[in-house]
Amino acid sequence: MTAKKLLILPGDGIGPEVMAQVLRIIDWLAKKRQLSFDVSEGLVGGCSYDKHGVPLTEETMELAQQADAVLLGAVGGPKWDTLPFALKPERGLLRLRKDLKLFANLRPAFVFDALADASSLKTDLVRGLDIMIVRELTGGVYFGEPRGIETLPNGERRGVNTQVYTTSEIVRIAEVAFELARKRGKKVHSVEKANVMESGLLWREEVQKLRDARYPDIALEHMYADNCAMQLVRTPKQFDVIVTDNLFGDLLSDCAAMLTGSLGMLPSASLGAADANGARKALYEPVHGSAPDIAGRDIANPLATLLSFAMMLRYSFDKEEDATLLETAVKAVLDGGMRTGDIMQPGMAKVSTTVMGESILRELDKLI
């Protein structure tokens, strides 16, 4: 069997240092579990701009197209904030999502028992929390046309973006949500602003139609996005699967992520449609950003990236056992009291990025 192709894009800020911990796990899997990948590395974001003048080169895009899965660290930083839109680090990430047609973004928000009191909400509101946000990722206002900034005849400037969704875009993301709900709590909240937006009304109608036709076993509720933001911090455990558009999903997933105590803990997967062989293009990345303020100091939390890699093992490579091993090791290290600064609690041991990575390896050795 030929090894699966894995493209690693560490990106900017803390990206490279958290990714270094994943590379150690990849070595460990090869040595201890006879699981090898054909690993290549590339640049994306500001680092690519610095070297090549663009946030993503054609060569790297081609590598991503050929890869069985892509693992990305993070992109962006103040250094590149003043670049024109098309050259900003974020455009590299957005192009990967768009060109690989990764329309389904899975953002789990779950609370590790050891971290339940790290949440800014009361512990009993979040203990055992397990939400899956399914965010549409290749449509909506992020990509809608027309877009741009123009100067009007009177000298005033006008900025335009377009929120647009078609039936097929809505149906394919809702399918992902209903399928996931079937394996979980059988409940979907579909979130939009049907009270003010036609695209939201269409969203609501199509999701309901799909539920009635093919998923009668799933409880479906429609919720306005503003109410959803409020409900997430009021009674978050009412949610199982939330399906929503690109922009609302961006906002609500940050909100849900923070319920868990730290953005530094949460992984994500972005998946395309299944091809004839059932394989999907896929990109995995932590939900957190590049955190330029703490970059290069070996204090960032590598767990979200490690957990993203675990999602990759599960969804792209069908390595359930190895994914669970890694997740169990993360849990054990947290239970053992180790914390990076972002999740530090009284009485716990504050450790560096590197030591966190080492501790995970030590746990993995114990587990096999």
In whole angstroms, what is the distance from residue 284 CA to residue 193 CA? 29
Which of 50, 205, 250, 358 touches ligand IPM by CB under 6 A? 250
Angle 310-314-316 (CA atoms, 0-180°, nearest 5)?
A: 105
- 254 is known as an active-site residue: yes
Site for ligand IPM in 158-217 (CB under 6 A): none
- Per-residue DSSP letters for 147-161? -EEEE-TTS-EEEE-
Q: Provide, rounded to whole angstroms, the least separation between the CB of residue 250 and ligand IPM.
A: 5
Contact 181, 187 (CB under 8 A): yes
Q: Identify the active-site residue in 49, 68, 193, 315.
A: 193
Contact 77, 98 (CB under 8 A): no
Q: Provide, rounded to whole angstroms, the least separation between the CB of residue 92 and ligand IPM.
A: 10
Site for ligand IPM in 61-80 (CB under 6 A): 76
Tell me the torsion sign for CA atoms 339, 340, 342, 345: positive
Contact residues toward Mg ion (CB under 5 A) are 250
Q: Which does 286 bind (CB under 5 to 8 A by kind): Mg ion, ligand IPM, none?
A: none
Which of 50, 90, 99, 205 touches ligand IPM by CB under 6 A? 90
DSSP state at residue 326: H
Stretch that binds ligand IPM, among 4-12, 55-63, 88-96, 331-339 (CB under 6 A): 88-96
Comparison of 98 and 184: residue with beta carbon closer to ligand IPM: 98
Contact 263, 280 (CB under 8 A): no
- 226 is known as an active-site residue: yes
H or E element that contains 243: strand 241-244
Stretch that binds ligand IPM, among 89-97, 117-125, 158-166, 353-361 (CB under 6 A): 89-97
Q: Provide, rounded to whole angstroms, the least separation between the CB of residue 27 and ligand IPM.
A: 28
In whole angstroms, what is the distance from residue 147 CA to residue 143 CA? 8
- 193 is known as an active-site residue: yes
Contact 356, 303 (CB under 8 A): yes
Using CA atoms, how far residue 132 sits from 103, 110, 242, 268, 289, in Å, is: 16, 8, 6, 10, 19
Q: Which does 175 bind (CB under 5 to 8 A by kind): ligand IPM, Mg ion, none?
A: none
Residues near ligand IPM (CB under 6 A) are 76, 90, 93-94, 250
Catalytically active residues, by annotation? 142, 193, 226, 250, 254
